[in-house]
Structure 1
């Protein structure tokens, strides 16, 4: 009866330890995937901002070409002011470049502000992701600090955006290795590893000493 109950106890204890190990691994995996998904959503907002910056660049390019055209025609026809030029072209649809740029920039800042708010409630704790998140935060702060968009500003921010996106893509490719490292370095898992190893050592020692 003792041997039966002893073996049964060992089986129950082994089953409990195994279930704890499996549950812990699934919990670490689930939490890690949530972090990646959260960052992926932030990357989508980065794409929205890039799209609006593309629109601002297009407005600046068209505006530059139009200004050059107006300047040349004013010289050719002797217009002294732009008002004279506009008066000579009453049928053209004139859109305020500054108003359009302000509207686009305000839309970008609205997205950037909501993204910055999301940083406060972020569940991202993995070391490499937090480093990448810090770069993203610097990028958002740069966007929010824009007073007037220019080609050089847009170029710099687009470079930062591409770098963040590229680094995240490279990070995703090695996410399985990072997950394994997280499991191996987890404190509870380390305690379970040590416990199992001690049991195995005691078993071997008891066998060798014929206890």
Structure 2
């Protein structure tokens, strides 16, 4: 084996090792970045659970108040109370809570969470196309929540349907996460350059062997 042949093969080995190391590091970086984006979105999605829980509380208040109003109306007729003040005066032992105030406070808390989440969404670092699409849907949802002026079964049902749709969309997205990660690795610009470089090294090794360099 000539000295040139020795150095040539040694150079190919060193360069190939360096490129392989860079490829592994790049794959690890892409994977870490992707997982970080998914984790970031999952944290934002937890806010959805909080909002859903608050909406459940509002629905409970609406249902209870409807039953209570019906019961009060029946008792007012039976006992001859002409006004609600007369009814409340006759039931001083009960601690009456204003339904309107309670709903207002619950809605205020929901809107605070929606506004906070919206700000976090505007400052997020999510760049993957599929995940970004779901993030936009989440952003639209929290803005709809923030703009809610009055609580009703209809408005809450519509928002809950949107929330459920977003969560299902994310669940379906996670099922294809492995394929998406592989696609990101294959389409990465630096990885494409490295693929070409490795192909050239491989081709050089074949030519060197063929011509006995």
**TM-score, normalising length: structure 1:** 0.93
The unaligned stretches of length 5 or more in structure 1 are none
Q: Which residue of 1 aligns with 2:48?
A: 46
Q: RCO (CA 8 Å, sep 6+): is it higher in 1 or 2? A: 2
1:24 corresponds in structure 2 to 26
Residue in 1 that maps onto 2:167: 165
Moved more, 132-141 or 189-198: 189-198
Aligned to 2:130: 128
Inter-CA distance 116–59: structure 2 relative to 1 (3 Å threshold) = same
How far 1:206 moved relative to its partner? 6.1
Report the secondary structure of 2:200's partner residue. helix
Separation (CA, whole Å) in 1 of partners of 2:212 and 2:24:
33
Q: Do structure 1's residue 55 and structure 2's residue 95 form an aligned pair?
A: no
Answering whether residue 160 of structure 2 is matched by residue 155 of structure 1, we say no
Q: What is the CA–CA distance in structure 2 between the aligned matches of 1:146 and 1:113, rounded to whole Å? A: 12
Look up the match of 1:13.
Answer: 15
Tell me the secondary structure at the aligned position of residue 118 of structure 2: helix
Q: Distance in 2 between matches of 1:24 and 1:92?
A: 67
Q: Is the 8 A contact 2:16 2:198 kept in 1?
A: no
Match of 2:94 among 80, 92, 95: 92
- Helix, strand or coil at the partner of 1:89: coil
Separation (CA, whole Å) in 1 of partners of 2:171 and 2:136: 16
Give, in whole Å, the separation in 2 of the partners of 1:7 and 1:96. 85
State which of 35, 49, 56 in structure 2 corresponds to 1:33: 35
Q: What is the alpha-carbon distance in structure 1 between the residues aligned to residue 151 and residue 31 of structure 2?
A: 42
Contact 2:12 2:205 in 1 (8 A): no
**Pick from 131, 145, 148: which aligns with 1:146?**
148
Distance 1:91 1:17 in 2: 81
Tell me what 2:202 maps to: 200
Aligned residue in 2 for 1:102: 104
**Distance in 1 of aligned mates of 2:12 and 2:200:** 15
CA distance in 2, matches of 1:65, 1:201: 81
The one of 119, 129, 133 aligned to 1:117: 119
Alpha-carbon distance in structure 1 between the residues aligned to 2:144 and 2:11: 62
Q: Which residue of 2 aligns with 1:71?
A: 73
Q: Give the alignment's Cα RMSD to 1 decimal.
A: 1.7
